[in-house]
A and B are shown apart, each in its own frame.
Chain A
Amino acid sequence: MTMDAGSAGIGETGFTLDDLSDYLDRGRTPAIAAIDNSPECQAMLASMERMGSLTRDLVAQDQREHPMLEEGWLGGLLESISREVRAGRDIPLTAPDPRASLSVTEGAIRELIRSAGDSVDGVLVGSCTLEGDVDVVGGLVTVDLAISVVLQTPVLELAEQVRQRVYTRLLAHTELSIGTIDVTVSDVHIVTRPAADGDAS
């Protein structure tokens, strides 16, 4: 397997990216409990579905005009996502009862950030890192995102939309103090529209 998240597979289930891709293609049937009960596998499948949606749009244009959409680019993106879906550190939340201990995984936060970015039309999040005091309630963190964009809206506008959506979701679902959210545009895909009748060639 060339696209493996390590010998233990995604979420240490033993299932590789290829296995998950096949599972998705089969409509998730027959059900495999080890995949369905693994948040890491589920996060990976959700990312694959979002990626599929955007890349279908691009491929539909004219694949010959988009050499960046080669398998290597998609493979690299999948590998990056597979590393980031790992549960990672437990980020503590305020517990209302001394007998309770509450947390949200770093993997869940990265998926939240990724889905916020991917929700902007024409954006696909490539990588996402969270730095800072994630081990304490209310800790100060910084977020770094690398995104790929389809150039149909000005890049600055797309990046700002990503930043705003990520900030809003982090504010709603974590107790972290958000320092900065840095967005780097790492890939730009230019979509060419077919010339309309009467357009000068």
Chain B
Amino acid sequence: MIDPEALASELDIVVRNVPGVVSLYSTAPAVVSVVRQLTEGPEGGTLVTVRSVQGVWQVAASIGVASSVQAPHTAAAVSAALLAAIPAGLEATVTVRISRILS
């Protein structure tokens, strides 16, 4: 049995460890982040989103990348790392969104 929160927490670390990733942002709507901070404290919650829709696991990450590496390469590396970190046998898709490119 997969615990989405636990998997999301692991995937947060996976994304942060990809070379070229300098920040990870919330994929949840901003209002959810605000409420989450109020209820869970400043460190509450994961930033990568994991959910199961009709048996397919959908993973979404919003990242900030370093301008020293070509942004499309970093996005591809993040998607590869996420797919590799998803437990074998699970049907999954990943969405990687670059939200900032930082100098």
Contacts and interface: CB of A to CB of B under 8 A. Distances in A.
B101 interface: yes
Contacts of A34: 30, 33-34, 37
Chain B at the A interface: mostly helix, strand, loop or mixed? Answer: mixed
B17 interface: no
Interface of A: 8, 11-14, 30-34, 37-39, 42-43, 46, 87, 90, 93-97, 99-105, 107-109, 111-112, 115, 119, 169, 172-175
Contact of B98 (A33, A95, A97, A103): A103
A163 to B, nearest CB: 18
Nearest to B64: A39
Nearest to A90: B97
**Residue from A11, A94, A95, A108 having most chain B Cβ neighbours under 10 A:** A108
A31 B70 contact: no
A156 to B, nearest CB: 25
Interface in B19-67: 23, 25-26, 29-31, 33-34, 36-37, 42-44, 47, 62, 64, 67
Given A33-B33, A38-B26, A42-B23, A99 B100 contact: no
How many residues of B sit at the interface, in one of the four size bands? 35 or more
Contact of A101 (B37, B94, B102): B94
Contacts of A42: 23, 25, 64, 100
A12 B76 CA distance: 28
A107 B94 CA distance: 21
A104 B64 contact: no
12 contacts: A12-B31, A13-B31, A32-B42, A33-B42, A34-B37, A37-B47, A46-B102, A90-B97, A100-B96, A103-B95, A111-B101, A173-B71
Contact of B97 (A103, A115, A173): A103
B71 A174 contact: yes
Pick the 6 closest A-B CB pairs, nearest first: A39-B99, A100-B79, A173-B71, A104-B98, A37-B26, A13-B30
Given A34-B30, A38-B26, A173 B99 contact: no
A162 to B, nearest CB: 15
